[in-house]
Structure 1
Amino acid sequence: MPPVTHREHPVAPQLAQQTIALVDDDRNILATVSIALQAEGFATRTYADAEAALDALLADPPDLAVFDIKMPRMDGMELLARLRERSDLPVIFLTSKDAEEDEEAGFEMGADDYLAKPFSLRLLLARIRAVLRRTEARRPAAVDEQAHDTPSAGEVIRRGRLTIDPERHHVTWDDKPIALTVTEFLVLEALAERPGVIRTRNQLMQAAYPDDATVDDRTVDSHIKRMRRKFREVDPDFAGIETLYGAGYSFIDD
């Protein structure tokens, strides 16, 4: 099925127009969200069919994709699982279910953020911008404005068996690659910058979701849980991320 297309509204000039792909079987939602994004200066591609969307996302990746979870034939979970086999494209989930297990499942599959229907366009725009900022922060030209006692931008971080290369968005454990989403990467980087130091959930949320006050602290727990699972796929004895109950998390440099 060909993508549903809409003419772009004239927008103010900008250095580089970012493209958002929308995947939802509800064409009214596609049209409404697409028009709103275009009015904010984004280019959009819309798909009412997940299988067609998968081929297009792999052939010509946008800057970010927004998936509905409940779709016929292939749902958003399966779409993301198949996408993650070949791409780390940032993804935000939309779903009509407002249940913690759905959010957890989305993060476990590799989503970068989650928004329950019905949602406000203002909040969706805020989440899109937040994920794009986190993605942009991983590019070589990004400037690290953290305190001077943390590694400088682009500097490879080595902590025992862990290596983090910010410029390449590359993580290894015992020289084995670990595929992390942008959000997971930023949480891990914040932990590894100062081994043994407890990072509160609020501190980790600030590292991964700067200026986004709409994220709750259970989101950090979901990212930590998923990261541990990924590390244990290459090392069943991985214990590099320690939980300090009631306080937060720390990275153990062994």
Structure 2
Amino acid sequence: MYLLVIEDDVIMGDMLGMYLAEEGYEVKQAVNGQDGLRLAGHFQPDVILLDLMLPDRDGMDLCVEIRKDSDVPIMIVSMKTEVSERVQALKAGADDYLCKPFSLHELTARVFALIRRAQGRTLQKGTGGETAEKSGAEGNQIKPVQLDIDRRLLIVRGQQVETTFSEFEIMRLFLEHPGKVYSREDLINAIRGFDSFVTDRAIDVHIVNLRKKVEQNPRSPRCIKTVWGVGYKYINDFD
């Protein structure tokens, strides 16, 4: 597995590189945003560890730029501990946020979980490229939302839509079980799988972003419905 560490603190970067290499990962390091962006395109990492405070550009902006071209899981590693920073990172496309100082054991557990979710879970494909929803009584109708597992894309009414890692996993869960009500805790467990930083607010941010990508009118959602006092559910909308 390949990891890219974008960290301007050389000592911190070397420490992460050595530790993760001992865990069996091949690690590349960048000390600024420009080199990080270049390596992200050529190295094709399985996970990116990204510091927010870089010498040449804002790490949040770099996260947005990487996300435009790739759905690689991005973990923010930062001294900034404010909830607002974490929420902003999720909106920028990050999949996890780890505050410094941190346990290296926790770091590797989170990295492993991100890789496992990105590569270790697949859906059984049907024939003719159908990936997410099984046909039945509705088999002759075109599904408004489908998943392209190989490219990790949403197909929304025939259009390809890029998602973050966590957004894709939430939609995968919704499409596998349309109509099932998921609490925020259910969704946290589904996209993380272990105790890491993620909150009810983080789930709400993901849902808002997904509605913008899926719904014809995000302010009046017909697919991703709120179940007040419980959580969310997905229903098929064939209109």
TM (norm. structure 1) is: 0.80
Q: Partner residue of 2:191?
A: 208
In structure 1, give the amino acid aligned to 2:110: R
Answer yes or no: is the 8 Å Cα contact 1:154–1:165 preserved in 2. Answer: no
Answer yes or no: is the 8 Å Cα contact 2:71–2:152 preserved in 1. Answer: no
Q: Partner residue of 2:124?
A: 153
Answer yes or no: is the 8 Å Cα contact 2:98–2:197 preserved in 1. Answer: no
For residues 168 and 47 of structure 1, the distance between their equivalents in structure 2, rounded to whole angstroms, comes to 26
Answer yes or no: is the 8 Å Cα contact 1:20–1:44 preserved in 2. Answer: yes
Identity %: 27
Answer yes or no: is the 8 Å Cα contact 1:195–1:253 preserved in 2. Answer: yes
* Secondary structure, aligned partner of 2:147: strand
* Secondary structure, aligned partner of 2:56: coil
For residues 102 and 210 of structure 2, the distance between their equivalents in structure 1, rounded to whole angstroms, comes to 28
For residues 124 and 43 of structure 1, the distance between their equivalents in structure 2, rounded to whole angstroms, comes to 15
In structure 2, give the amino acid aligned to 1:101: S
Q: Partner residue of 1:145?
A: none
Answer yes or no: is the 8 Å Cα contact 1:154–1:167 preserved in 2. Answer: no
2:49 counterpart of 1:63: no
For residues 103 and 180 of structure 1, the distance between their equivalents in structure 2, rounded to whole angstroms, comes to 18
Q: Partner residue of 1:25?
A: 8
Residue 126 of structure 1, aligned match among 93, 98, 109? 109
The correspondence of residues 114-193 of structure 1 with structure 2, limited to 5 A, is 114-138=97-121, 142=122, 153-155=124-126, 156-158=131-133, 160-193=143-176
Residue 210 of structure 2, aligned match among 218, 227, 231? 227
For residues 154 and 106 of structure 1, the distance between their equivalents in structure 2, rounded to whole angstroms, comes to 33
For residues 250 and 114 of structure 1, the distance between their equivalents in structure 2, rounded to whole angstroms, comes to 26
Q: Report the Cα offset of residue 157 of structure 1.
A: 2.0
* Secondary structure, aligned partner of 1:214: coil
Structure ranking higher in helix proportion:
2
Structure 2 gaps of 5+ residues are: 134-141
For residues 194 and 37 of structure 1, the distance between their equivalents in structure 2, rounded to whole angstroms, comes to 36
User: How many pairs does the alignment contain?
Assistant: 222
In structure 1, give the amino acid aligned to 2:78: T
TM (norm. structure 2) is: 0.85
Q: Report the Cα offset of residue 83 of structure 1.
A: 1.4
In structure 1, give the amino acid aligned to 2:232: Y
Q: Report the Cα offset of residue 222 of structure 1.
A: 2.6
Structure having greater relative contact order (Cα 8 Å, sep ≥ 6):
2
Query: Which aligned segments of 4 or more residues in structure 1 are displaced greater than 3 angstroms?
Result: 235-238
* Secondary structure, aligned partner of 1:101: helix
In structure 2, give the amino acid aligned to 1:26: D
Answer yes or no: is the 8 Å Cα contact 1:153–1:166 preserved in 2. Answer: no
Q: Partner residue of 1:10?
A: none
Q: Report the Cα offset of residue 227 of structure 1.
A: 1.7
* Secondary structure, aligned partner of 2:69: coil
Answer yes or no: is the 8 Å Cα contact 2:187–2:203 preserved in 1. Answer: yes
Answer yes or no: is the 8 Å Cα contact 1:107–1:226 preserved in 2. Answer: no
For residues 236 and 76 of structure 1, the distance between their equivalents in structure 2, rounded to whole angstroms, comes to 32
Answer yes or no: is the 8 Å Cα contact 1:23–1:67 preserved in 2. Answer: yes
Residue 251 of structure 1, aligned match among 208, 218, 234? 234
